[in-house]
């Protein structure tokens, strides 16, 4: 990649890296007929992902793809990681006076 990767390319690479995916899942989620949105094809052409020849046809990042993803992701301080884990475990409180029968506009006004 001569220029920095697009946001959609970074999202695609992160999606592939998130957990094991197979070819059918990748095609279902990322195939496009729009010539301006060819992230799946671009990633293969640029050598960022590979399709393994196993029974599942697993889609994986190449070393180059992993490097592009690592370089694109912002470096976060170690303290924010612990804060993010605590925040994820803390349930969001919903104001008691909002009921499920209240129209959406009233919800916004109550918050």
pLDDT tens digits along 10-54? 999 999 999 999 999 998 888 887 777 789 889 999 999 999 988
Position 61 confidence tier, pLDDT thresholds 50, 70, 90: very high
Average pLDDT over residues 70-80: 67
Q: What is the pLDDT of residue 79?
A: 47
How many C-beta atoms lie closer than 10 Å to residue 103's C-beta?
A: 8
Just give the CATH number of 7-72: 1.10.10.10
- Note the pTM of the prediction, 2 decimals: 0.62
Selected residue with higher pLDDT from 85 and 67: 67
Domain ranges of the chain: 7-72
């Amino acid at each position: 990649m001569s220029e920095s990767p697009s946001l959609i390319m970074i999202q695609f690479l992160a999606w592939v890296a998130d957990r094991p995916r197979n070819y059918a899942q990748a095609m279902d989620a990322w195939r496009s007929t729009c010539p301006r949105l060819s992230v799946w094809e671009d990633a293969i052409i640029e050598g960022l992902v590979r399709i393994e020849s196993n029974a599942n046809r697993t889609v994986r990042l190449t070393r180059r793809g992993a490097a592009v993803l690592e370089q694109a992701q912002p470096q976060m301080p170690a303290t924010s990681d612990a804060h993010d884990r605590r925040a994820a475990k803390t349930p969001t409180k919903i104001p008691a006076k909002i009921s499920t029968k209240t129209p959406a506009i009233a919800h916004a006004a109550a918050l």
